[in-house]
Structure 1
Amino acid sequence: MSTSMSPSGYRPSRTSGATAGTWTQLLGTYDATTRTAKLYVNGTLAATLTGATSWSSSGAFTVGRGQYNGAATDFVPGAVSHVQAWNHALTPEEADALNRQLL
């Protein structure tokens, strides 16, 4: 499986997708101090982006879609459940522990 993060729009991209009918845990972190974004898939680090910048947001916390020019876009074509938000970037050990809890 090959994975990368594109700096344009900070969208994680994968060359292989999730398997239909199979639960997949996706966990994203952002560390403002190191300006690093990470994507974990099923508890395993799959991609890292360095030099990421934060942005201001005045809207509500939203999961399952993007926003472009003020309009909702790029809706997730599937179900989203077990959403959690943390006030710090999770460590690799925390990401793995969360994955094991949900199995």
Structure 2
Amino acid sequence: MKLLGALILVLSLSAACGLRCYSCTASDPHSCTQTTTCSYPFNRCYTLYVSGTVTKGCQYSASCIKPFSCCEGNLCNSAIPTGPSVVLLLVSSAIITVFL
């Protein structure tokens, strides 16, 4: 029962915080470190490369057509792997280890 409560807490906190995306306009995709929390109706992160410049930010799914590269999930539009799914896996493994 404690495991179920912890799982519900983690899922509700991640849903309540909203989608987070990298947001910038730069010539080097690796220099994009600023993040933003997307407001409604934006439900995707995007990356756009035009003439040697990269632009990143929030987008809604209906606008995710070429040349936009869209993805789902927090900080998924990074050029540097962030691994939010790995962190979630480690946290859930720790919770299972502690409560079982």
Q: Tell me the TM-score normalized by structure 2.
A: 0.25
Q: Tell me the TM-score normalized by structure 1.
A: 0.25
The structure where helix makes up a greater share of residues is: 2
In terms of Rg, which structure is larger?
2
Q: Which has the higher relative contact order, 1 or 2, with Cα contacts under 8 A spaced 6 or more apart?
A: 2
